[in-house]
Amino acid sequence: MRAFGTLLEFTPFVSLSLVLAQTSEGGTGCRCLYGESCWPSDDDFNTLSSQLSQPLIHPVPPASACYPIDNPSGNCSDVEQNWFNGIWRSNHSGAYENVNFETYTNKNGSISGCYLNTTLGLPCEQGSVPPIGVDARTIEDVQAAVRFVDQHNLRFVVKNTGHDYLGRSAGRGAFMIWTHNLKNISYDANFIPEGGSGDEAVPAFTFGSGVQWNEAYVAARDQQRFIVGGLSAGMSNGAAGGWVMGGGHSAFSAKYGLGVDNVVQFTIVQSNGDHVVANAHNNADLFWALRGGGAGSWGVVTSATYRTHDLVPLTMSGINVTFPNPQVAQTVGTKFVSLHPQLSDAGWGGYSSITKSSLFAVFVAPNVTLAEHNATIMPFYDFVRNATGDSGATVFSDAYDNFHTWLAELESQAPPIDQLGGNVELASRLLSREAAEERAEETASLFLSFEFIAINFVAGGAVARADPESVALNPGWRKAVAHAYTADGWDSGASGEVVRQVRQRIAEAVKRLEPISPNSATYMNEASLYEPDFRKSFFGSHYDKLRMIKQKYDPKSLFLVAEGVGSEDWDGSLTCPM
């Protein structure tokens, strides 16, 4: 799943990215918002437009096509049909993967938005969708937009797909730089990072910041290469943006490492409008920060270049279990938790969920034969069968020629997943090797105390073997074997009090998950708005160094996002310095 802002203090109704604590006209140094006297004039926008390859855009919430109810302004049937489709959502500048970021919580607790359910009788309002922006199709478009933002001191956001559980690309009254249409893809069998030498050459793809993983995988298939990437429903998340800058986990990370371990170069527009390369030879400190220092804090990334890997056979295996009673759930859960270090050491990854009544898990591993699969995983399946009396336990396994044949079959057989288009917030922690190996029973008991826990096998193995100081990523990743999260949400049109209660439960869930973590670490792209200390959870011991790099490359703090580096110096709306 994917990412909102943070609370410096937990308030009754609001998250950091959704509420205006004060306006830019309320204090020196505040950013300018739409509707204020400081907002650029029509002539200013006309001047900007003359510098762009595309007309300015005016994002609106996607459900606005269904209003007015008696005479819809757009194709409401299209909206209804595609509401849960991540690709469709990403193609709309005003749509977000989680619709709570299209809304805005007012100071009195009421919620402003535009709902698909027109029978609610609520008005269609702009919510937290920025009212104007740039559809960036060229580097020059990005540069012009950044300089315009700086010139007019605007509160602004950078948006690609809107696939973000921290809401970093939403902002009420903000200006938007939409990078979704920077779709360039190139492959170089002997890519040398700028400034490097021939002995650094690797087969690599360069993706523009608008490229999505479904597009990247097609390109990799055409070149018969494998690339570590995201595997969300529909793979609509971006390949060169927040995914990698937050770490970039994958079911194949135990074998090949995280996204930050595979990226070899970025290009980025800085706060002064310059377009530069960041790699091991140029702007090396910025390159370090971009690999795990979080999206939206460093500039507008225009491309990312990843090393690729040879295609190899792949084995997939899975189990679906119904627990007959709580004692069996605890027994199987304990064994399942203790399995994680062994699996990651053997290069296995995957995804699972566990509740008081069931366990579902899918495991994948490259270059593992069915015989090796049987030796590694079948003992666990046999244990489950014995524990459940062989009732309600279904197992499966299969071998594939390579990643691309596996992915094609997965897409053809998997039922649609309504992973997107709802109001969702997360609480998460990395599962430490120590908690899995030495406290498996206690950890399983904690997991089973939740209504729902997802466990992503996206750490350990190659992730653990990487130098924790090589990238800005929280060093806790190198001591983890998985990432665990729980989720909560609400129906569209719910009252502010209902939303407040959900957010309170999420804040409490963060604290409950603390015992499993390596020093409070978590995956920032699938995390909570209510971290007690986001600096510790997202960046760990690397935060002070990141602050210094931030000051060097963005001295005006032009690039601010919820729970991002330097955001603690600003108010809850990231509009005024504190």
Choice among 110-119, 345-354, 387-396 with the minimum mean pLDDT? 387-396
Q: In which band, very low, low, confident or very high, does the pLDDT at 1 lie, cut at 50, 70 and 90?
A: very low
Q: What whole-number distance in Å separates Cα of residue 204 and Cα of residue 220? A: 10
Nearest Cα to 520, choosing from 417, 411, 435, 578? 435
Which two tokens mark 7?
Answer: 């609370």
pLDDT of residue 22: 37
Mapping DSSP to helix (H, G, I), strand (E, B) and coil, where does residue 226 land?
strand
- The backbone torsions φ and ψ at residue 88, rounded to the nearest 5 degrees and listed phi first, read -60, -45
Integer-rounded Cα Rg, in Å, for the chain is 23
pLDDT at 261 over 50: yes
Q: Which residues fall within 8 angstroms of residue 439, CB to CB, at 6 or more apart?
A: 515
Using the Cα atoms of residue 239, residue 243, residue 249 and residue 251 in order, give the sign of their dihedral: negative
Q: Which residues fall within 8 angstroms of residue 189, CB to CB, at 6 or more apart?
A: 203
Task: Find the largest Cα–Cα distance for the chain.
Answer: 75
Q: In which band, very low, low, confident or very high, does the pLDDT at 390 lie, cut at 50, 70 and 90?
A: low
More confident residue, 3 or 273: 273
pLDDT of residue 391: 67
pLDDT of residue 392: 72
Which two tokens mark 227?
Answer: 């690339």
**What pairing do the DSSP bridges indicate for beta strands 175-178 and 132-135?**
parallel
Q: What whole-number distance in Å separates Cα of residue 192 and Cα of residue 265? A: 10
| Mean pLDDT of the region 251-279 | 98
How confident is the model over 445-462, as pLDDT tens digits?
Answer: 999 999 999 999 999 999
pLDDT of residue 54: 98
pLDDT at 110 over 50: yes
pLDDT at 256 over 80: yes
Q: What whole-number distance in Å separates Cα of residue 80 and Cα of residue 63? A: 8
Measured from the Cβ of residue 47, the count of other Cβ atoms closer than 10 Å reads 13
- The backbone torsions φ and ψ at residue 304, rounded to the nearest 5 degrees and listed phi first, read -135, 140
Beta strands in 344-468 (DSSP E): 349-354, 358-366, 393-400, 423-432, 453-457
Using the Cα atoms of residue 259, residue 160, residue 152 and residue 5 in order, give the sign of their dihedral: negative
Share of the chain above pLDDT 90, in %: 89
Q: In which band, very low, low, confident or very high, does the pLDDT at 52 lie, cut at 50, 70 and 90?
A: very high
Strand partners, 304: 207, 266
pLDDT at 19 over 90: no
pLDDT of residue 371: 87
pLDDT of residue 13: 27
Residues in the chain: 578
pLDDT at 164 over 50: yes
Measure CA of the first residue to CA of the last residue in the chain; give whole Å: 33
Which two tokens mark 415?
Answer: 């039922």
Q: What whole-number distance in Å separates Cα of residue 286 and Cα of residue 546? A: 9
Average pLDDT across the chain, whole number? 93
**What pairing do the DSSP bridges indicate for beta strands 175-178 and 156-159?**
parallel
Q: What angle do CA 15, 21, 24 make, to 5 degrees?
A: 130
pLDDT of residue 4: 24
Nearest Cα to 459, choosing from 194, 200, 266, 256? 256
